[in-house]
Structure 1
């Protein structure tokens, strides 16, 4: 029997991955710090989001996870009783400052503990899959970011400590016995968003954090014009959860010599298109502006406040990203109709009252 073990199974990617594997008929063990009730609810929501029967959750086995404890606090003999694929999706995702220590504890030390636990207990021919981010490239993004192991870089070469922590985790992984034995796969994801066909999103991170901030100001002071600093060719690699999970399953269907893959779209979303769709659904006018334009005409008070509130996510509008990718790993591009579904669903259904 081949078992699928997923840590961070209550998270956005982890819960949808568990749902897709259950629907495929796999034996799934969900590891999470959250309670069994919470994990089952999250996976049930993911099953419904992906169009599967919610009763499939009855087959899910849930076990507690502690990234800072020996053997992750697991009943290791049970979890690793059979040959498995171990999915390391657990991570702290935050762009806010002064959380460097927590990011280090979860994303670097915790990841190392997950790998060490796998190496101690996993049966022969088991595989370890580390879910990374394409944005671990930091500010070193001139030309296509290659699909290979990263080099060490100081913290000031990253937009935030989250990116730095994900880079450090990959570097530690690259030096492991599992990599030398060819048992590791590292899919680097783009900006995770909701379902490509319905727009439904079970997350408040990334794009949705930005939408939440814009909606707050749009509803409070409708009709205002807001400039945001943007690269002239600013773009985002938005990757819907349904097509991303599908690509992850296809990537792991066979052994591959190269361990690192960018699971990003070949076609990106220009930020100007994102702003146009947001403007159509919220009473606000977002305008991309170059630093030179802002220097020539500084922000008014309202613009300054909005930019301050959005700065941790809007910093991604100030760059153009180009990632090496292969057809076998690339989900379909997010078209304008898909982008409209993603934004409109969140405006109608996802925003707080």
Structure 2
């Protein structure tokens, strides 16, 4: 993606999106940022972006901002504004999404992650110039509960499909909407599926509060109630967490965009995840308590202590990701880019945990 191509980024105030914009500006890529309350929220997110390391790029003020709302038709953007956004060929980055692992808001998740993706695509089809591309930012966990690694292919939803969360289901639904626009409207672009994006590999810093950080936040609340406690945590033998540092994720995203015809679907994941039991132990140590991984086969509800139950309650949804060895095919990533076999090890996890919990 050369300097002649502009990047249109929705959900621009999000963690990965704001860090991607910062790196785009460092590379001289012009950016048009879309978000709810864009004029203030986008620049606040850019100012706080992890990759800045305390000093945002001097060209950040050149980012153009536009308000958008995924629950409104055409994202609430009128024809005049759309003409300004799509005044030249662009790469449209659809980061905007609702991220909620609980089952409490299925209607909102469907409205944003499926219908919102459809509205963004419709806006793109109606107004983008020839030569434009649409990049859908998805999650590698769209595979749901599977025995095999999640393939870099379209994954239709069948009667046998099982998901850990509504979020996974709606993100897969959004991908299938994109598939239909590719087939029916000839949309050019790709699906980039992200693993769990964590802090910087260089500093350990983050502004994210999802995934492993949500787990740590919940455990910190428990540790305040039970200082120095010893708690059991249900973790399957061989379970893994696929963590990708934000600087690596952004580097991969922009490198893929540099390719004239990137693969249609790419899993941006580590080759092998970090062991979930060891990660749980590291988090416990960081909190000054003991978190003991216990396999589901050895789990006994009748033997749980008050502390065990407090932990189990706090991890009712995030805990589902500790019960499987979740694997991903990344053949398309490796065939397109030169990527290391390992981008996150337990040493990095320890630094990420130490910084977040300090």
TM superposition score normalised by structure 2: 0.92
**In structure 2, how many angstroms separate the alpha carbons of the residues matched to 1:179 and 1:19?**
34
**In structure 2, how many angstroms separate the alpha carbons of the residues matched to 1:281 and 1:177?**
47
Query: Relative to structure 1, is the Cα distance of residues 23 and 155 closer, same or farther in structure 2, using a 3 angstrom cutoff?
Result: farther
Residue of structure 2 in register with 1:341 after alignment: 351
Residue of structure 2 in register with 1:281 after alignment: 286
Does 2:37 match 1:37? Answer: no
1:112 deviation in Å?
0.4
1:190 deviation in Å?
0.5
RMSD of aligned Cα (Å): 2.0
Residue of structure 1 in register with 2:243 after alignment: 238
- 1:55-70 aligned at under 5 Å gives the runs 55-70=58-73
Q: Please, which of 208, 211, 217 is the counterpart of residue 222 of structure 2? A: 217
Q: Please, which of 117, 142, 163 is the counterpart of residue 111 of structure 1? A: 117
Query: Relative to structure 1, is the Cα distance of residues 53 and 223 closer, same or farther in structure 2, using a 3 angstrom cutoff?
Result: closer
Does 2:136 match 1:130? Answer: yes
Residue of structure 2 in register with 1:351 after alignment: none
CA contact (8 A) 1:49 1:200 kept: no
**In structure 1, how many angstroms separate the alpha carbons of the residues matched to 2:50 and 2:330?**
28
CA contact (8 A) 2:256 2:262 kept: no
Residue of structure 2 in register with 1:15 after alignment: 18
**In structure 1, how many angstroms separate the alpha carbons of the residues matched to 2:314 and 2:284?**
18
Structure 1, unmatched stretches of 5+, are: 349-353
**In structure 1, how many angstroms separate the alpha carbons of the residues matched to 2:72 and 2:34?**
14
**In structure 1, how many angstroms separate the alpha carbons of the residues matched to 2:184 and 2:235?**
38
CA contact (8 A) 2:114 2:170 kept: yes
Deviations 1:283-302 (A, max 9, x none): 11111111221138632222
- 1:251-266 aligned at under 5 Å gives the runs 251-256=256-261, 258-266=263-271
CA contact (8 A) 1:67 1:114 kept: yes
**In structure 2, how many angstroms separate the alpha carbons of the residues matched to 1:285 and 1:333?**
27
Query: Relative to structure 1, is the Cα distance of residues 339 and 47 closer, same or farther in structure 2, using a 3 angstrom cutoff?
Result: closer
Q: Which runs of 4+ in 1 moved over 6 A?
A: none
Residue of structure 2 in register with 1:294 after alignment: 299
**In structure 2, how many angstroms separate the alpha carbons of the residues matched to 1:59 and 1:171?**
35
Structure 2, unmatched stretches of 5+, are: none
CA contact (8 A) 1:19 1:47 kept: no
Match of 2:271, SS state, is coil
- Worse-matched range after superposition: 254-263 or 234-243: 254-263
**In structure 2, how many angstroms separate the alpha carbons of the residues matched to 1:120 and 1:168?**
22
What number of residue pairs does the alignment pair up? Answer: 347
Deviations 1:12-49 (A, max 9, x none): 11111111111110110000013412210111221753
**In structure 2, how many angstroms separate the alpha carbons of the residues matched to 1:207 and 1:154?**
30
TM superposition score normalised by structure 1: 0.93
Match of 1:5, SS state, is strand
Q: Please, which of 310, 314, 320 is the counterpart of residue 309 of structure 1? A: 314
CA contact (8 A) 1:47 1:53 kept: no
Query: Relative to structure 1, is the Cα distance of residues 125 and 235 closer, same or farther in structure 2, using a 3 angstrom cutoff?
Result: same
